[in-house]
Amino acid sequence: MHAMTRRALLALAGVLLCAVPAAGQPAADGALPAAERQVRLIEQGLEQAVRRGVDALEQRLPAPLPGLVVFAGTIRARGFVVDGYGLFFDVEFPVVRRSILWSITAMRRHDRAMAQSLATLRRRVLEMPPGLARSTL
């Protein structure tokens, strides 16, 4: 009985010793460990959230020209395991191109001034007495 227990323990120890190095290696079929899969899922969720925010903001900004790119840069999220603390995520998001925003603001200001000038011109034309000067306009 003692010899059989000893052989079983040796066999179990051998199996465990072989399993430890194998656990540190990636799975042969390319599957990621569960924790790494969860980090990847959170990364994808963060990237989608940033993308939705950018899309929503682009819809709110009136684009003076179709296809105008207001944002520059990439959207990327990377997760890291910090021992003793948990997870840390670095999220890169596109920045607003200030030159585009300045152009939009300047064009709006110019459009308002132009509309006011046209309204003043119309009002003055309508205030003119009927006659040759008004008919030539």
> 3-class SS at 71?
strand
* Averaged confidence pLDDT in the chain: 73
Half-sphere exposure of 127 (CA within 13 A, CB side): 6
> 3-class SS at 108?
helix
Query: Residue 16 corresponds to which tokens in the numbers above?
Result: 């465990």
Q: If you average pLDDT over residues 97-123, what whole number do you get?
A: 77
**pLDDT interval class at 21 (50, 70, 90):** very low
Q: If you average pLDDT over residues 31-56, what whole number do you get?
A: 89
For 1-137, list the strands marked E by DSSP: 71-72, 76-82, 86-92, 95-96
**pLDDT interval class at 6 (50, 70, 90):** very low
- Separation of alpha carbons 62 and 107, rounded Å: 11
pLDDT digits (tens, 9 = 90+) for 51-81: 999 888 878 776 556 666 778 889 999 999 8
Does residue 129 carry a pLDDT above 90? no
Going by their DSSP bridges, the two strands 86-92 and 76-82 should be labelled as antiparallel
Query: Residue 39 corresponds to which tokens in the numbers above?
Result: 């980090």
